[in-house]
Amino acid sequence: MRCDEFISRYDLENAVCLDERLVLVKAENTTEVSEKLLSLSPRYSTCVGIDYRPINRSYLVHHVLALDKYGLYLVLEARAHDPDPVVESITNLFPAANWHEREVMDMLGIKFIGHPEPYRLILPDDWPEKVYPLRKDYPYDRKPVELAEILERPTPRNYTVSIRRGSSVSEAEIPLGPYHPALHEPEYYELVIEGERIVEARYRGFFVHRGMEKLAESRLTVNQVAFLAERICGICGYTHATAYCQAVEEAADIEVPARAEYIRGILLEIERLHSHLLWFGVAFHLLGFDTGFMATWRLREKIMDLAELLTGNRKTYGLNLVGGVRRDIDESKAHAVLEALDFIEEKFKKLVRLVMGMHEIIARTKNIGILTREDAKKLGAVGPHARASGLDIDVRRDCPYAAYKYVDVSVPVMDGCDVLSRILVRFEEIIESVRLIRVFLREMPKGGLMAEYDDIPGLRIGIGVTEAPRGEDIHYVVTGRENKIYRWRPRAPSYMNLATVPHMLVGEKLANAPIIIASIDPCFSCTDHVVVIDRSSRKKIPLEKALRET
């Protein structure tokens, strides 16, 4: 559905079309408008805080809601003003907004009235109060406090790191992370167990926040940010670069040549193959099946060879620029890709048959780590994780971009809601990726690789959305003047999926914890947060409260 049709059909007040698929709704009362929008069953996607004071003396908060069945994104805008910027929280209506709003509180100092957990999320414990790094008057290279001052402070109370034999006969606390062989990036879980059963799960992250947004907004030009975006993730960096470029292209009305769109599509699918095969390797290793781990990573090597052939790099392709791509794919390369795909598909299908016959793998993943469809929807799960819980969402089909605009994408959906379903969804996605690459190579039109465009106009909003291997990846851009970006907010899919992990852990056996955590294919270099689940009510409780009670 087109944007203007949507506005007229639903009679939205204060709504304007920013482009064909982006609706901006300016809200005086965000709660009231959000309640009205609930009837459209939107999916909470991201929230962006913008220090707009240099432009019109206000702060903007943009909640981005995905309307999957209409193929649209809706931006709900709220304003706040100095000296005490406040807006209404919509976390009670959209639980997935919880972390986003807290991040805006941390980084811009905009308070959300009615937020159930108005606590620090990203900034470290020793970060000073009332210092907000994403405000425009905060220099990118400023140190908030001197080292000597930090050392003089009392150490903030942290989680206990030793086993506790509590009053309960068999209760114990198991620290998992920040560095552990079962984890591949820094994250911290604290699991309270009774026997082998997990009765409480705590998670803390944000150990690797790198301040990329500030760097992009302060130092880099529009095209340089594409390369920074690719470095958000070491696995799915290309999808970030593509989402960023699409956001700028949308904001600046740049039409990318079709051939460049196909090349992007091919590389996005190659990246998906790489990511999924990597994940299978990790999952098999966690399940003790190292032969499977070796086999999948051998196939992954072939995929990386393909990436090198097409881009010159095994990872971090460096292929995208705003307006197109930097390298073409000629006949000989296309032929080599098709040959390699035949080999990979055959070997992968053999491996699938082998794994599906392994009763210990099936028994260890079936009915393990359950996330119901309702919880997945409520918590904003995306990607294969959401599809394994019965949510039929995929940006490639619902809001097509790049080469997906020209082909049909088959989206596997399972309703097992368990780890096995997540495995099966990824199995099918690999087969579909191979098919898509073949179609893209066959149907790729001739033509240029780069769009011609003048300067990027300032203060335009653009949203770039891609279906990363882990789910919806959304980049929100407000263009700036002099070839700069005014505001850039990338939101990786793991940001949404990680919130679901403690819910999946409680009630499970300890031995299953690593595979449950891994089943969402988490990426911590993009994402980090804190969630505590209370054992009796099985509801989230604030971290500070949990720490006080520890």
Partner 1 sequence: MTLQTTLYMCVAGLINALALLVYAPLLDGIGRKIKARIQRRKGPSVMQTIYDLRKLYGIRAIVDGLAGNYARYAPALSMALAVMAALMIPSFLPSSTYCDLIIAAYLLIAVTVAQTYASLSMSIPYSVIGGCREASIMMASELCFAGAIASIAAAYGTLYVWRASPIIRLESLKPSMIIAAGVLSIVAYVESMNLPFEISEAEPELAGGTMIGYGGRSLALVMHSAMIRKALFISFVLDLLFPWRALGAGLPGIALRIIVFTVLLTGAYVVMSMLNAVYGRYTPGQALRTLKRVGIASIAAVILASIGY
Tokens of 268: 């996005």
Work out how close the CB of 291 gets to partner 1 at its nearest, in angstroms, rounded to a whole number.
Answer: 5
Please say which residue, 144 or 186, places its beta carbon nearer to partner 1: 186
- Residues 6 or more apart from 78 whose CB is under 8 A from it? 27, 30, 60, 61, 63, 87, 88
In the numeric block, which tokens belong to residue 359?
């009763």
Binding partner 1 by CB under 8 A: which of 412, 490, 493, 514? 514
Q: What is the distance between the alpha carbons of residues 242 and 122, in angstroms, rounded to a whole number?
A: 26
Could you tell me if 300 and 371 are in contact, meaning their C-beta atoms sit under 8 angstroms apart? no
Going by the DSSP 8-state scheme, the letter that residue 316 receives in this structure is S
Question: Are the beta carbons of 478 and 485 closer than 8 angstroms?
Answer: yes
Burial class (CB in 10 A: 0-12, 13-18, 19+), 455: exposed
Q: Looking at 14-22, 148-156, 294-302, 456-464, which segment touches partner 1 (CB under 8 A)?
A: 294-302
**What number of chain residues touch partner 1 (CB under 8 A)?**
34
Nearest to 383 by CA among 280, 302, 276: 276
**Least separation in angstroms between CB 385 and partner 1:** 20
What is the smallest separation between the CB atom of 512 and partner 1, expressed in angstroms? 7
Measured CA distances, 209 to 264, 316, 422, 490, 542 (Å)? 28, 19, 28, 13, 21
Footprint (CB under 8 A) of partner 1, residues 135-174: 162-163, 172-174
Residue of 30, 296, 500, 512 interacting with partner 1 (CB under 8 A): 512
Task: Write the burial class of residue 519 (CB in 10 Å: 0-12 exposed, 13-18 middle, 19+ buried).
Answer: buried
Of 142 and 359, nearer to partner 1 (C-beta) is 359
Query: DSSP secondary-structure letter at 221?
Result: B
Q: Please, which residues have CB within 8 angstroms of residue 414's CB and are 6 or more apart in sequence?
A: 387, 388, 390, 421, 424, 425
Cβ nearer to partner 1, comparing 156 with 181:
181
For residue 351, state whether it binds partner 1 (rule: CB under 8 A): no
Residues in a beta bridge with 202: 190, 532
Question: Which of 128, 288, 312, 448: binder of partner 1 (CB under 8 A)?
Answer: 288
Q: What is the greatest pairwise CA distance in the chain?
A: 72
Nearer to partner 1 among residue 79 and residue 184 (C-beta): 184
Nearest to 490 by CA among 207, 218, 103: 103
Among 196, 339, 392, 415, binds partner 1 (CB under 8 A): 196
How far apart CA 73 and CA 65 sit, in angstroms, is 6
Of 490-509, binders to partner 1 (CB under 8 A) are 509
Q: Is 384 helix (H, G, I), strand (E, B) or coil?
A: helix
Whether 376 contacts 385, CB under 8 Å: yes
Q: What is the DSSP string of 132-146?
A: -TTSTTS-TT--SS-
Residue span binding partner 1 (CB under 8 A) among the ranges 4-12, 335-343, 359-367, 458-466: 359-367
Tokens of 420: 């096995």
Which position among 510, 534, 547, 550 is part of the footprint of partner 1 (CB under 8 A)? Answer: 510
Instruction: Tell me the window of 13-21, 32-40, 299-307, 360-368 that interacts with partner 1 (CB under 8 A).
Output: 360-368
**Smaller CB separation from partner 1, 148 or 161:** 161
Q: Which is nearer to partner 1, 145 or 363 (CB)?
A: 363
- Angstrom distance (rounded) from CA 142 to CA 469: 36
516 is an interface residue for partner 1 by CB under 8 A: no
Q: Residue 176 or 393: which CB sits closer to partner 1?
A: 176
Q: Which position among 290, 301, 308, 374 is part of the footprint of partner 1 (CB under 8 A)?
A: 290
Q: Which range of residues in 114-122, 146-154, 317-325, 353-361 is near partner 1 by CB under 8 A?
A: 353-361
As measured in angstroms, the least distance from the Cβ of 470 to partner 1 is 21
**Segment contacting partner 1 by CB under 8 A, of 44-52, 67-75, 88-96, 175-183:** 175-183
Q: Which lies closer to partner 1 via its Cβ, residue 243 or residue 520? A: 520
Chain centroid to CA 492: 2
Structure tokens at 21: 């698929």
Under the binding rule (CB under 8 A), the answer on residue 302 touching partner 1 is no
User: What is the C-alpha separation between 339 and 345, in angstroms, rounded?
Assistant: 10
> Contacts with partner 1 in 454-493 (CB under 8 A)?
none
Minimal distance in Å, beta carbon 509 to partner 1? 6
Beta bridge partners of 446: none
Locate tokens 């309307």: which residue? 67
112 binds partner 1 (CB under 8 A): no
Among residues 176, 247, 267, 329, the one that binds partner 1 under rule CB under 8 A: 176
For 397, the token pair is: 């089909």
Positions in 198-257 near partner 1 (CB under 8 A): none
**Considering the rule CB under 8 A, would residue 309 count as an interface residue with partner 1?**
no
Cβ proximity to partner 1: between 358 and 413 the closer is: 358
Q: Which is nearer to partner 1, 107 or 355 (CB)?
A: 355
Q: Decide if residue 286 touches partner 1 (CB under 8 A).
A: yes
Cα 525 to the center of its chain, rounded Å: 11
Q: Nearer to partner 1 by C-beta: 500 or 512?
A: 512
Smallest distance, partner 1 to C-beta of residue 529, A: 22
Verify binding: residue 62, partner 1, rule CB under 8 A: no
Distance of closest approach, residue 431 Cβ to partner 1, in angstroms:
22
Nearer Cβ to partner 1 (292/493): 292
Cα–Cα distance between 314 and 268 in angstroms, integer? Answer: 13
Q: Which of 442, 511, 548, 549 binds partner 1 (CB under 8 A)?
A: 511
End-to-end CA distance of the chain: 52
Tell me if 285 contacts partner 1 by CB under 8 A.
yes
DSSP-derived letter for residue 257 is P
Q: Are 318 and 311 in contact (CB under 8 A)?
A: yes
Footprint of partner 1 (CB under 8 A): 162-163, 172-176, 180-182, 196, 284-292, 294-295, 298, 358, 360-361, 363-364, 509-514
